[in-house]
Structure 1
């Protein structure tokens, strides 16, 4: 079973399964989208125990998770404000 680690140079320092590039939020979001833990484990090629480790970390560190989600939202807003829409075709 993997531990949860945070490494500055991997996934922006977000908590992830040790030895993998699978973030806690990736696992949690899949489960919260009505995917069973067993399905998530199969899709990510991790053990069911690793899914539950990620879920436990998520619920044990709510302040950290809120900060990460807030950072993601800010990044999305910045990218959206910089994006350019393609020109519309004239008929």
Structure 2
């Protein structure tokens, strides 16, 4: 299988071996954006079989994928809350 995990790449998220293309990235493009697997393969410069392997992994490990998405959303929210905000306009 060409799906691998490595803590030093993408924070350990599952990805296509030999690339920085994450399983969630492939799934987002193919499922949420409605792009064809062939189009996703072309855009991400991976093979069509790797797209299908990533999608297969995504569906076989759906709870893991949902947990990764929740963690990503939580991290994004923390960054947003701690980022500098523009000053209130003086009235």
Q: Secondary structure at the match of 2:43?
A: helix
2:3 alignment counterpart:
4
Unaligned runs of 5+ in 2: none
Aligned residues: 89
Q: Secondary structure at the match of 2:21?
A: coil
- Could you list the structure 1 runs, at least 4 aligned residues long, displaced by more than 2 angstroms after superposition: 85-90
- Determine the C-alpha separation between the residues in 1 that align with 2:67 and 2:40: 24
TM-score by length of 1: 0.89
1:25 alignment counterpart:
24
2:41 alignment counterpart:
41
Unaligned runs of 5+ in 1: none
TM-score by length of 2: 0.89
Task: Give the superposed CA RMSD.
Answer: 1.5
- Determine the C-alpha separation between the residues in 1 that align with 2:43 and 2:76: 26
Q: Secondary structure at the match of 1:43?
A: helix
Q: Secondary structure at the match of 2:35?
A: coil
